Every structure is written in structure tokens, then in C-alpha cells.
Structure 1
Amino acid sequence: MPESSPSRRGSRLTVDDWLDAAMRLLISEGVGAIKISRLCRQLGVTKGSFYWHFTDIAALMTALADHCRRVQADAMETLEGLGSLPPVERIRTMGVLVSDTRRRSVEAAVRAWAETDPHLAKSVIALDSTVFDVAHDAFMELGFDEQQAHARATTLVYVGIGYMAGSEHLDIATDEDKRILVEILTRI
């Protein structure tokens, strides 16, 4: 991804423009890559534009962390909304959600950042707990006992985390791979 873009001097940037640019750097290179000078180059503006919106880099990072927490909260709402689906369809849909390229990239970047940000870590833990709860409920509805439902839900959570972490380095799971995984996990 090119770091510079056409000059924005003819239009005023918004806070969302800055957050989008910071998110692109977070996804592509990690939290350490987010610097005022890099963002200004990427957006084609001067540092004065940055300081119009933020007092310093810490203020931008706070706004970006808040944005990431909202993304995590939206993901939890989406998962909680799956409750009306039949249990196997719920599990399949969770696989579709984690397979979405943009969602996977954002989630992997947020997880990496959460390793050093305790507040962000709380939202990652909350999302993982929601994934577990939704999966656990689905397995219970399928007739598994508590121990089996717990083991299968735990497996699904860790498969999802591993998929996000490893998908940059491994072949993407095919639809058939996902189908087989759901079949294995839901087989009584």
C-alpha cells in the first residue's frame, strides 16, 4: 500500500480520516508504525492539520483505541444477534464472520495491540467470551453435555484466534475446510 496519497489541501480532513489512516498503519505494520509524520505523508497534509484534530500522538492513540473498542463491541452485538439462527447455522455464520478478510485483518491488528494495552485487552477478552458463549449455547442446543459443549466451544474459539493469527502465513481455509470443521464439531 503506498504511503502517500494525493494532497488533501482542497478539502478539510476529519477525525475519521485520521483514524482510518492510523488503522491502515495498525493493520499493515502494527501500532509502532503510527507516527504523526507517516500519517501526514499518507494523507498528503502538513503536521498543522494533525494538530488541528489532536493535541498529540497520545490523543490520536486514545481515539484509535476507543474506535477499536467500538469495533469489538459491534462484533459482540453481531454475535449475540445470531441467537435466532439454528445452532449449526450459528456456528457456520461465526466461521463466515471470522473469514471476512477485512474483519480478520482488523481483529489480528487489535489483538496484537492489546498485548500492550490493558484497556484494549479487556475488549478482546470480552469478545472472546462472547464467541465462547454463543458457541457453547449452540453446542448445548445440539444436545452435547456441559463438558462436550465446553470443549467444542473452546476449540472453536481457539481455531478462530489461530485462523486470524496464521492466515497471513498459511493458505486460507477453503469453504470445504470450514464445512468439515463444522461437521466435526457438531457431530454427536
Structure 2
Amino acid sequence: MTAHPARPRATKDMWLNAAYDLLICDGIEAVKVMPLAKRLNLTRTGFYWYFQDISELHAAMITRWESRNTAQLVARCRKQAISICEALFNLMDCWLDPALFDAPLDLAIRNWARVDEGLSRRLAAADAARIGAIADMFARHGYTAEQSEVRSLTVVYTQIGYISMQVQEPPAERLARVRHYVELFAGSAPADHEVEAFLKRHR
């Protein structure tokens, strides 16, 4: 008799990770218990050890997005910096390091929010928190309230455009452009040592 490999031991994170994969690839309509169970080679009853229902899984997915993207972006904005250019480079780390900001997840959440009114409200709150954190960053470096607001909107809307259009750039080209985005957003050119420190983090 052929021995079958043992099924992997289920964990809550296994179900959540599988849901993440389905959300990214196929949208929220694909995130159902049976497809998740098949993906994990587990029985559907195992799902209910960790989640009361699919709505509870959805809530956990949204919480993961808020902590993985919005919370980390806000933290980068609050990171200590000598100049606005250094502060902007700290923020730009998010766009180049998936560990700091998950762009595919952000796009999937935005698409999901089109059909979920509650999530749409949470997305609006997340965008407001991001815009507010970036505006505060500009204000700390001497910009007026109006300048801070408009510059923060420019930063956020530029990145949302990148995400929504799913722009694909050679990594070296995108990295080379960042200094010019920083100059555009700040209204002044970054110092050479600030550029070098940023590039060194991503080489």
C-alpha cells in the first residue's frame, strides 16, 4: 500500500495566508471556505476551529492590511530625520521594500472596497491617516498647513496611481527616479549624502 504524505498541521495563519493568496490572485469573490480548504489540503471543518465564519476571516484580512501597510507607512513618516528630503527617503523605503508596504495587497483591498461599503469606509480612514501622517511630516520641517496638505496629497495620489496602474519598472530605473520624486515633493534637491544613504539601503 502506498503511504500518503501526512497533511500539514493547520494553524490560523495558514488559513489567513491562503486567503491572502486568493485575494491577491482572484479577488474577494474567490475567498471561500471550500477553495481555501482545497488549497491547504485540509477539510473545511478545520476552518471553523479558527474562524466563526467567513466574515471573521475577512475581518482578520483587513486587520492584517491595516497593520502591514497603513501602520508601517505612518511609522516611516514619524521616523526621525534631519531634513524633509531625508524624511521623504524614509517614506520612499515603503515603495521599494515589500516588507514595509505590500502594494499587491493594497490594490486588492481597493478593489474589494468597491463592493463592500464597510471596507470602503475603512479604506477612506486609512487614506486619511496616511495623508495626515505625511502632512505632519512636512509640517515638522517648516511647511505651512496648506503646503503640507497639498504635498501630502501629491505623494499619496502618485503612489495610488502606481499601484492602480500596476506599473512595472526595472528596479534600477525606479531606484534612480526616487531622488527626483523627492526633489519634486520637497521643492528642493536632496543632498548627495542623503541620496547615497537611500541607495545604499536598496542596493
Q: Which of the five TM-score ranges fits, normalised by the shorter chain?
A: 0.7 to 0.9
CA contact (8 A) 1:98 1:164 kept: no
CA contact (8 A) 2:77 2:90 kept: no
Q: Indicate the residue corresponding to 1:171 in structure 2.
A: 169
What letter matches 2:182 in structure 1? V
- Displacement after TM superposition at 1:16 (Å): 1.4
CA contact (8 A) 1:22 1:34 kept: yes
Distance 1:134 1:62 in 2: 24
Unmatched runs of 5 consecutive residues or more in structure 2: 189-203
Which region of structure 1 is more displaced relative to structure 2, 53-62 or 11-20?
53-62
User: What does 1:92-107 correspond to in 2, within 5 Å?
Assistant: 92-101=89-98, 103-107=102-106
CA contact (8 A) 1:142 1:186 kept: no
- Displacement after TM superposition at 1:117 (Å): 2.9
User: What does 1:1-188 correspond to in 2, within 5 Å?
Assistant: 9=7, 11-72=8-69, 74-75=71-72, 77-79=74-76, 81-82=78-79, 84-86=80-82, 87-101=84-98, 103-167=102-166, 169-171=167-169, 174-187=174-187
What letter matches 1:140 in structure 2? A
Distance 1:135 1:77 in 2: 8
Cα distance, 1:139–1:116 mapped onto 2, change above 3 Å = same
- Displacement after TM superposition at 1:120 (Å): 2.9
Cα distance, 1:181–1:16 mapped onto 2, change above 3 Å = same
* TM-score, with structure 2 as normaliser: 0.73
- Displacement after TM superposition at 1:7 (Å): 6.4
What letter matches 1:91 in structure 2? L
Q: How many residues align?
A: 180
CA contact (8 A) 1:7 1:45 kept: no
Cα distance, 1:119–1:175 mapped onto 2, change above 3 Å = same
Cα RMSD, aligned residues only: 2.7
Instruction: State the SS of the aligned residue for 1:22.
Output: helix
- Displacement after TM superposition at 1:181 (Å): 1.0
Distance 1:151 1:7 in 2: 58
Unmatched runs of 5 consecutive residues or more in structure 1: 1-5
* TM-score, with structure 1 as normaliser: 0.78
- Displacement after TM superposition at 1:8 (Å): 5.9
Distance 2:105 2:145 in 1: 32
Distance 1:116 1:77 in 2: 26
Distance 2:92 2:128 in 1: 16
